[in-house]
A and B are shown apart, each in its own frame.
Chain A
Amino acid sequence: VNGEEENTSPLAGVRVIDLTHHIAGPNATKLLADYGADVIKIERPDGGDPARRMAPFLRDEPHIEKSGLFLHLNTNKRSVTLDLKTNGGRALLLDLVRDADILVESFAPRVMPSLGLSYETVREVNTRIVMTSLSNFGQSGPYRDYKMTELTLYALGGTMHSTGTPDREPVKLALTVEQFFAGMITATATMGAYLGAQAHGAGQHVDLSLFEMIAGNQDRAVQAHTVFQYAGTIAQRAGGGGGRNVLPSGVYPVADGYVQFFALQPIWDRFCRMIDREDLIEEEYFTRPDHFSGNATVKAEVDAILYEWLLPRTKREVMEKAQSAGYFCGAINSMEDVFNDPHLAAREFFAEVDHPVAGTLRYPGPPFKMTESPWRAGRAPLLGEHTLEVLGELGYSAGDVTRLREQGVL
């Protein structure tokens, strides 16, 4: 990172002490780091962040510097190994906290107090720091110490129950996406509290719960909760095909795969233009309200016309034609398609980043682009790569470092 970029990054000068691991917390500090914050990731000396041991691995070789998940989640951070269970480790962390703006941690709620690092202690050292604690269920309540994984998390939020088909069990979303979402919310809450601390001179403790984030998320959950409050109604699993409207609003097969349609508005005219049937635009049989809005026979007739048009066409042809007619449609792409997508290429979404062990790989690029202040392409740190550097900045001598290493602190 050159000096000029350092200075124009939106979060240049913000120092973050990162005590998070796995996915959600690291995704929050990734956003901070990629937009310029100095994120010091504290890792345990015996193997570091457990995400270093999570798949996928480069050439399927398990190795703490070759986890694709870890490499993606920890770009632009500095890694310091520290055993927080030692007195020396704790003292060193408090030294780091003294000069920091933000502390983010994602331990189980009992851990930070047991390490002598409760918010009260942290605040004694630095009154203007924002400390974010991210946990499964929050720092209080009857479920506080319960375990959680991606599946159990999504199930609690209220929307998994209505995801899937009625004749089957509810089904989760892909991979660990909800934990990534939680990271985005965590970054927003932390930045919000930090701006408050900057403006009003006082830090605070932000207590975030994964359960609460998923229950309050905008993919149907918070709205469905509100509808339930208003009228007592509960969403059911609707299955594929997008319900009974004549306008296709779900997944349809095409020559080489599938496409995803969706229609919220009465865009029958656009549908007819998509399938080259302008003659049907004014056809009352389809547009009269009782037929248009959910007559199963009419829907089957419309689907039959649509299938005939879809089946000889590729997903890309269908998507391009639909979009040129103004109909909402996306090709259902594999990762191979994604990596060959012309739009993502034109926007230079794939960031090529070199790493001393993993080599040059393509990573997901900026989630948003700012005209004045750039996103940083960068790499994840090796375990403990910046221990000496960061301790040096704190004024520790080479002798201090040797002593701490012998004591097992580093």
Chain B
Amino acid sequence: MAKLPLEGVRVIDLTVVWAGPFATALLGDLGAEVIRVESLQRWDTNNRMMTPAVADIVKHTPDADPAAPQWEVSGNHGSVNRSKKSVTMDLTRPEGREVFYRLVRESDIFVENNGPEVVQHLGVDYDTLRQHNPKLIMISMAGFGAYGPYHRFRAYGANMEAIVGHALLRGYADRDPTSNSNVFFADACGGATGAFALLAALHYRNRTGKGQFIDMSQAENVAHTFSQAFMDYSMNGRVQGTRGNRDFSRAPQGVFPCLGEDRWLTISVGTDDEFHGLCHVMGRPDLAVDERFADALSRYRNHDAIDAEIAAWSVSQEHYDAFHALQAAGVPCSPVLDVSEVATDPQLWARGMFQKLTHPYLGTHHYLKPSISNMSETPLQYWRHAATLGEHNEYVYKELLGYSDEEYRWFVENGHAGTKFLNARSGSETPQRVLQQQQQQQQQQQ
């Protein structure tokens, strides 16, 4: 096979939660060597989250290990830390920091999205690191960027999106925002654009030899995605609100109940032809000639009436069957899939989007391949399962950084290089652990 696009590029990953790890995952998909740095002193439950109980995994997965440590079975870690290597060092001590500086000298890119001023406190800020490697490219993917009145704000995606307008533009049109469930769309966007920023900087360095620092505000990045509302205010001073599942230029558009528990179909009709296709599949030629639904504007004005007609039909339909029948008639629509249906969807299987992988603790599963996989010369995939904690300590310390066996032993004995979190026992008993489990149960109620 041809060489992967980013073969030979080394990335240090000191990221947390979702957005940062997604950026480095995309670089890893493209063939960069991504080395994820963690410390044994700090079990990052913000990243190693969405963690089913090991007992439930074993029940579901014949070859899973019942003795798997809880920190190795996070669904977030298992997906977004795909294809990365894992090394441990304690950056709060000078010896650990020295290991990190050595790693910086051997690397091209450093990615972080920690809380405000964490890299400064750890001595791994850009001004320090550029002394060790002037060609280094570093990105800080902060919620609100590296300067400005909110630069010390603590925010997850949901908080950032509130501040730049998303929360008021989504959710049910007939309810207030307190009925909005939490979403973290900013994380997805932050990771995607963060990876792009690094590729742009790599190209610049290829041309000029210069590294640089990238100041990313995830809030500003996601603000681009509310374009219509942003530009409407910019041009007309109009403040838009949510339209729920409806659309100004497409009617009828909505989500309709189907056969089975919690099964739904979306329909999004934009033209008269599409509307006639819908009426035909519903077996309701009368609606196609009904004055109330004669054109897009009248359908928009009589949206509730047409919705009632569609729902009366859809409620006795299987969502996948209705999807195929309507699409065959040229009507944009889809089933609302839950993850179990995504996992068996014929289109994704036909496209080879599932990859069977065996993890030493988790056993064998079909992972959804990276969405950028389909490249003709260098098809991409999970190059390996998410690394176990410290799995690549010997490779990084000895092979890459040249520490002797004796020196490496010192790092093992002094709580830098290891494969277990040192706070794991207490971690399993604190409110933090209980809270985490509770949140997982809420997110994953059977």
Contact = CB atoms under 8 A, between A and B. Distances in A.
A138 B351 contact: yes
A58 B444 contact: no
A268 to B, nearest CB: 7
A394 B270 CA distance: 40
A328 B156 contact: yes
B238 to A, nearest CB: 7
A335 B166 CA distance: 9
Interface residues of A, number: 173
Interface string B124-156: 000000000000000100001101111011111
B224 A333 contact: no
B410 interface: no
A82 interface: no
Contact of B193 (A138, A251, A368): A368
Contacts of A255: none
A406 to B, nearest CB: 33
A292 to B, nearest CB: 5
Interface stretch (A7-15, A88-96, A105-113): A7-15
B151 to A, nearest CB: 8
Dominant SS among interface residues on chain B: mixed
Given A152-B333, A330-B155, A335-B239, A173 B185 contact: yes
Nearest to A146: B327
Interface string A118-152: 01000000000000000001111111001111111
A155 B242 CA distance: 18
B232 interface: yes
A234 B339 contact: yes
Interface string A228-251: 111111111111111111010111
A268 B46 CA distance: 16
B182 interface: yes
B227 A69 contact: yes
Interface stretch (B53-61, B87-95, B286-294): B53-61
Interface string A54-78: 1111111000000011011100000
B318 interface: no
B339 A56 contact: no
Interface residues of B, number: 184
A260 B446 CA distance: 27
A137 B371 CA distance: 11
A10 B201 contact: yes
A364 B444 contact: no
A206 B332 contact: no
Interface stretch (A39-47, A182-190, A381-389, A397-405): A182-190
B52 A231 contact: yes
B231 A196 contact: no
B73 interface: yes
A238 B5 CA distance: 41
A57 B212 CA distance: 39
Interface stretch (B98-106, B298-306, B361-369): B361-369
Given A172-B170, A212-B353, A330-B160, A244 B438 contact: yes
A343 B436 CA distance: 32
Contact of A191 (B50, B196, B231, B439): B196
A327 interface: yes
Interface string A191-217: 111111111101111111101110111
Contact of B334 (A155, A162, A252, A287): A155
A152 B223 contact: no
A198 B205 CA distance: 13
